[in-house]
Structure 1
Amino acid sequence: MLGGEADRVSIEDETETTKEITEKKLKDRKVSWAKLRRVDSLNLEAGRVSMNANHNSKVGWSVTLTLAFQSIGIVYGDIGTSPLYVYASTFAKGIKNNDDILGVLSLIIYTIVLIPMLKYVFIVLWANDNGNGGAFALYSLICRHIKMSLAPNQQPEDMELSNYKLEIPSSQQKRAHKLKQMLENSHFARIILLLLAIMGTAMVIGDGILTPSISVLSAVSGISTSLGQNAVVGITVAILVVLFSLQRFGTDKVGVLFAPVILIWFIFIGGIGLYNLFKYDIGVLKAFNPKYIVDYFKRNGKEGWLSLGGVFLCITGSEAMFADLGHFSVRAIQISFSFVTFPAILTAYIGQAAYLRQFPDKVGNTFYESIPDPLYWPTFVVAIGAAIIASQAMISGAFSIISQALSLGCFPRVKVVHTSANHEGQVYIPEINYMFLIGCIVVCVAFKTTENISHAYGIAVIGDMLITTTLVSLIMLVIWKKSLWMVSLFFFVFGFIEILYFSSQITKFSKGGYFPIVLAMFLTMVMGIWHYVHKERYMFELKNKVSTEYLRELANRTDVHRVPGIGLLYSELVQGIPPIFPHFIASVPSIHSVVVFVSIKTIPVNRVALEERFLFRQVEPREYRIFRCVARRGYNDVLGNPAEFESQLIQNLKEFIQQQDFMLEVNEGAATTTTSEQLVVSTAINENDQMQDISGKEVKPRSNNSSGRIIPSHGVSSDSIRSLPASVRKSSNFYEPIIIQGPEEEIKFIDKATENGVVYMIGEAEVVAHPNSSILNKIVVNYAYSFLRKNFRQGEDSIAIPRKRLLKVGMTYEI
């Protein structure tokens, strides 16, 4: 809770008269609190939440079928274009035995059945976070049920959110409960869990670079025989430049074309597959017998194992079904994959196998060679469109997951542009877009062929799959509370298959497989460093928060002025007054007539309802009109423009003042009665606030000999002073409290302060390593983090604060 423990009044055995009075007041104020339960001054909105959690599983069939159709264009572009290059990548050295075609086809069939169909469509999709998928969605889901977050900013009020859906393991389920406690008490487990989420994100980013490269290059390779490979690479680069130039418009602008194009693509490859099957060799259907897999490995030994790297490419894009789940629903994905995607791609692979049984020497360009002549150019054109759509979907998915990482403090600040008002999660990140473009061009020019790119491509995908398997297994064990044998079966069966494929892919490290591994290590290091300093900075502020005694001393100072207006001081701290506040007073000896300490906090849920977003507490004494506010957001929430956010905050502040007065009235009227439903009213901040870290242990403020220090830095910018309202610069009012009676007068005072202007205050804190810290800590903080901070966006840019009303105070934290 904000500020720690507060005064609490318990009410038990409430009399009928008191109940009637309470219900009448509630009705008169038009607040639906008929079933008050554990309400306090930080969570007065808890009784009027809107249950806006994802309920796509309960929608009608017409909506589900519509979503299923739309998902065809967004989700399956990647896996749908895999038939362009799988056989060429698998038989890189040619086909030595005709029966090897049956063995590879059998591997393809059962790989598709086990991984995308069984694992993702019927198991992993259910491990969603209110309808959202991806590594950070899994991480958020786990952190809600197990206290695994490294930053100790959890609050009891968070559990009251309508999207939280928290179910704590009961004492009867000893295994889940014991594992939960063990994980919560292990700092190492927290670090490992965060690293898994970060590495999963890094793999998706690598996929976002490799997917456009291999998809477009393989589609354009249909004209390689007439123009040559260099021309194909040049055309591919030109298409990629156009593709990334269009990203700023968002997928919503062209999304209406996606589903029809991919559906036409599936019709084409499915129809061509059936044509080749009946024309060339219907006997390839024998590949449904898994004995051909055994025979294949017996004949080829090590070569057969190495060829698994090419076979694996038939399921690239499977993770997109989970990552893009937020746009659709579980049922929609299940229907579209089972009845459209699965039969189309399976028929395409079977048809190509039938063609290769007759023309094994044409394996280098199997897809285009197997197309009937009248359909060649129409298929070529549709293939280009499908490849672009596959690239678009993967790029958008990478943008979305980076946005989630940014919200959870695991990625340097970048500009996130929400491109669609109709579809959640569709974002555009300019800086990342240009990095992706450069990366794709480098990959195409350096690797030149789909075979070379495939060596790198598979490792990025299989790495993400292994992380998903691990996180879902933990969810099955602790949250779903499945039996140990079921969890073991899931983990070891799918883990064995994926490790087998990974072992084959890793042998191609020197041939291009190093690219995603090096990229993932680099991105993991960047995100890890950023989150480490982010967490240490928060811990520093938490341990050095300002005591309420300082405010009492401040009230007695005659050199500090109250000026008209509202001051919003931004801080990440959700408990107590941030240590930067005294430096504002020292730099500008003035304080606004209304002060709000604002903390924008990301909750481990996808969305927070608007009516649940703001939590307020008033700093005592009340006549000083100093408040603290936590503005809660989900990792998919948009803060909105500054004017809208400012309006929402002030409106909720006024509602808080009304509700606080009402709750005090209820408290006074029912102080001598009790009820079985406990009503808790928090009224003030206790100066002896106690803090707890995520393991439940008390965190005591630092003593004078603390290893961390706050050092005043470069003070207040003169431009910042000139940009403030004239009332701030010219006021001569002393810091004298104005006693206001009643909430109506208090709200009028807030309105008047709003008319005088709202000023935003931010501490521009430079973080440096403590002189006595280790060499590694100095390198991480003073060089790596400093470089990232200076070359990415600043705090005021990421939350879109108007510069003309911005006041910054510089200071240095030593951690």
Structure 2
Amino acid sequence: MTDTAAASELPDSRPASHGETQGSLVKLTVGAIGVVFGDIGTSPLYAFRETFAGHHPLTLDEIHIYGVLSLVFWSMMLVVTVKYVMILMRADNKGEGGSLALLALISRSGGSGGRKRWTAGIVLLGVFACALFYGDSMITPAISVLGAVEGLTVIETSLEPLVVPIAIGILLGLFLIQKAGTARVGIFFGPIVAVYFTTIAVLGMLSILRDPTILWALNPYYALNFFFIDGWKAFLALGSVVLAVTGAEALYADMGHFGRRPIRAAWVYFVLPALMLNYLGQGVLLIGDPEAIQNPFYRLAPDWFRLPLVIIATSAAIIASQAVISGAFSVTQQAIQLGFIPRLSIQHTSAAAAGQIYIPVINWALMVMVILLVLFFQNSSNLAAAYGIAVTGAMLIDTCLLTVVLLTLWKWKPWLALPLLALFFIIDIAYFAANLTKVPDGGWFPLLIGLVAFTLLTTWARGRQLMLARMREASMPVEIFVKSAANSATRVPGTAVFMTTSPDGVPHSLLHNLKHNKVLHERVMLLTVRIEDEPYVPDTERAEITSLGSGFYRLVLRYGFMQDSDVPAALKRVGSCGPEFKMMDTSFFLARQTLLTGGSKPGMAIWREKLFSWMLRNAESAMEFFKLPPNRVVELGSQVEI
């Protein structure tokens, strides 16, 4: 456990552009406040209101208000502080966090036989958590921006018809600027969100000063008492209470950008106190003025400050949305590298920060779905019914993965691990079950998105495995080929690089080239790009080269799942295989497969084969993905039946 925990503290455990580099703890903490806590920070806009005025309303009396506040506080303590901040953030993969990084860490420890099958089941859980994230990344921008803009109706009720158009305008602008990158405005995120948290903390504190007895709500007695006197409604209330901790998984997922210590410091010393002060302040307000339930967040502010508060809250909501969108890009990049998503165009928006990427397909898909959500649900209350299922589902899966980590990787003693895991499972299952009651009111949406994404991810992964297996079956041993072809074929000057997914056998592109052109280059390189189950591979460990004789070489380039596969750049650093690589003397040969569906030995259902074939046709070409010079690439087609 100590080694795992210490990994992300090492300054050289990953590139300087990607993590807790040379910056001070204070600077990194401010940055973490801006990026990591935007989602959970905007929850006070709607979470407390929805618990009392949502689809399962509660009586606005002292018993219920105290009970809900106690549930909110202990949810933050147990789910966010203990589970994510204290425990899960220790399960880093070379400094990176998140479901896919954790999944790669677990997969690397998988054994054989029954344990291998058991690990495969865990992999499917992790993939489903990734799929649910896409549903969450669609709802978060919609509900955050809508919840913030709805403050205008508190200032002037006649402005209500403008809420949806203004929210759509803000969201459209947010997605349209993604191509330019967030590197320039990113430095302002931390201070803006810090101002937001300070503001809501001060407003909450001023309200608490009117009735300090509200602090008793932090006693877990009131949460338990809520269940004792009104068990069914308390259970239903969990579906809204969990809105207060949505975004908790972002703490873990963004660990690689800021490091464990800055995120912990920001949460414990700043974000958690600010959130609880605001929730307690809303509680005091509702005890004294039940009518304020229409929008207790904005009613905390005096009349003169409500418009500035709308501006501050909207800015925070935009930043929270930006963090989720950037997270979707990052998760997609990891999924592509790990083989769950076809190659997509990935553009870098910053020369200094490797994490600043833009994926057009994901950006436009998210934009369309977010706008449709706003138009369909119209307000944050309706969206709150759809919100929560994806988050609680991902949290439950994180607990399943944590079970593997504690018992298998860290080898905690059962008497210590099992009671803690039992507590986490009880909490997560209760939250997830409570959110299932919201399925008819909108909860079906994230489940539908998750199911579609899961189908796409698993279809691509399975189809790719089958295709590689079929190609491997038909491949010729490279030793036999070199002996027979080296002396019989005409050799021409230059270098030929044949890309192949398998480090064994002869690439189909090489066989086709020899069959049709009847020549071989003086130097023939069989190149395989391998993505490892770790975020970064140092340049010193990038290339592994083997001489096959007669001018033939086998080259394996290793990359981490957070790195770009820049083949020409890697080739320039390769030695011990003849003269230096020059792009004008090098030709790259690629094989483009055409899938034949419905063959004699189908490996998947016909509809999944057709889906995989469609994904294969629309994947970005290897030339663009591996950054090969277009005028030096030759593509040769082949047909594969799976």
Question: Same fold by TM (over 0.5)?
Answer: yes
TM-score by length of 2: 0.93
Change (3 A) 1:524 1:755: closer
Q: CA deviation at 1:444?
A: 0.6
* Other structure's SS at 1:481 match: coil
Q: How does 1:475-624 map to 2 (within 5 A)?
A: 475-547=405-477, 548-557=479-488, 560-619=489-548, 622=549, 624=550
How high is the sequence identity, in percent, across the aligned residues?
A: 31
Separation in 2, partners of 1:467, 1:809: 43
Indicate whether 1:242 and 2:203 are aligned.
Answer: no
* Other structure's SS at 1:587 match: helix
Q: Which residue of 2 aligns with 1:319?
A: 249
**Cα deviation 1:219-241 (Å, max 9, x = unaligned):** 00001253454421111000000
Q: Which residue of 2 aligns with 1:66?
A: 27
Q: CA deviation at 1:775?
A: 8.7
Aligned equivalent of 2:67, options 99, 103, 124:
103
* Other structure's SS at 2:411 match: coil
Normalized per residue, the structure richer in helix is 2
Q: CA deviation at 1:256?
A: 0.8
Separation in 1, partners of 2:22, 2:60: 50
Change (3 A) 1:305 1:647: closer
Aligned residues: 625
Structure 1 window deviating more from structure 2 (71-80 vs 468-477): it is 468-477
Q: How does 1:412-451 map to 2 (within 5 A)?
A: 412-451=342-381
**Cα deviation 1:447-469 (Å, max 9, x = unaligned):** 11212111221011111111111
Q: Which residue of 2 aligns with 1:662?
A: none
1:814 counterpart letter in structure 2? E
Q: CA deviation at 1:793?
A: 2.1
Q: Which residue of 1 aligns with 2:122?
A: 193
Tell whether the 8 Å contact from 1:116 to 1:318 is kept in structure 2 after alignment: yes
Q: Which residue of 1 aligns with 2:184?
A: 253
1:244 counterpart letter in structure 2? F
Tell whether the 8 Å contact from 2:148 to 2:310 is kept in structure 1 after alignment: yes
Change (3 A) 1:78 1:763: same
Q: Which residue of 1 aligns with 2:551?
A: 625
Separation in 1, partners of 2:603, 2:76: 49
Separation in 1, partners of 2:379, 2:395: 25
Structure 1 window deviating more from structure 2 (488-497 vs 512-521): it is 488-497
Tell whether the 8 Å contact from 1:587 to 1:809 is kept in structure 2 after alignment: no
Q: Which residue of 1 aligns with 2:201?
A: 270
* Other structure's SS at 2:507 match: coil
1:538 counterpart letter in structure 2? L
Aligned equivalent of 2:164, options 225, 228, 233:
233
| Structure 1: 4+ residue segments shifted above 4 A | 58-62
Q: Which residue of 1 aligns with 2:3?
A: none
Separation in 1, partners of 2:169, 2:79: 34
Q: CA deviation at 1:418?
A: 2.4
Separation in 1, partners of 2:639, 2:21: 56
Separation in 2, partners of 1:531, 1:775: 12
Structure 1 window deviating more from structure 2 (757-766 vs 369-378): it is 369-378
Change (3 A) 1:419 1:586: same
Aligned equivalent of 1:796, options 623, 626, 630:
623
Structure 1 window deviating more from structure 2 (468-477 vs 767-776): it is 767-776
Indicate whether 1:114 and 2:46 are aligned.
Answer: no
Change (3 A) 1:764 1:219: same
Tell whether the 8 Å contact from 1:95 to 1:360 is kept in structure 2 after alignment: no
Tell whether the 8 Å contact from 1:98 to 1:360 is kept in structure 2 after alignment: no
* Other structure's SS at 1:307 match: helix
1:809 counterpart letter in structure 2? L
Separation in 1, partners of 2:486, 2:21: 61
Separation in 1, partners of 2:521, 2:255: 46
Q: How does 1:332-351 map to 2 (within 5 A)?
A: 332-351=262-281
**Cα deviation 1:380-432 (Å, max 9, x = unaligned):** 11101000000001111111011000001101221112223333423211110
Q: Which residue of 1 aligns with 2:637?
A: 810
Separation in 1, partners of 2:334, 2:126: 11
Change (3 A) 1:100 1:51: closer
Q: How does 1:627-666 map to 2 (within 5 A)?
A: 627-640=553-566, 645-652=567-574, 654=575, 656-657=576-577
Indicate whether 1:145 and 2:67 are aligned.
Answer: no
Q: CA deviation at 1:767?
A: 2.5
Separation in 1, partners of 2:215, 2:568: 65
**Cα deviation 1:57-114 (Å, max 9, x = unaligned):** x989972232112111110111111110012211123534332111111111111111
Q: Which residue of 2 aligns with 1:402?
A: 332
Q: Which residue of 1 aligns with 2:48?
A: 87
Q: Which residue of 2 aligns with 1:758?
A: 586
Separation in 1, partners of 2:206, 2:20: 39
Aligned equivalent of 2:235, options 286, 290, 305:
305
Indicate whether 1:53 and 2:13 are aligned.
Answer: yes
* Other structure's SS at 2:399 match: helix
**Cα deviation 1:792-811 (Å, max 9, x = unaligned):** 42332322322221111111
Q: CA deviation at 1:606?
A: 0.5
The answer for unaligned runs of 5 or more in structure 2 is 1-9
Change (3 A) 1:606 1:59: closer
Separation in 1, partners of 2:88, 2:630: 45
Separation in 2, partners of 1:807, 1:632: 23
Higher relative CO (Cα under 8 Å, sequence separation at least 6) belongs to 1
* Other structure's SS at 1:123 match: helix
Tell whether the 8 Å contact from 2:34 to 2:319 is kept in structure 1 after alignment: yes
Q: Which residue of 2 aligns with 1:687?
A: none
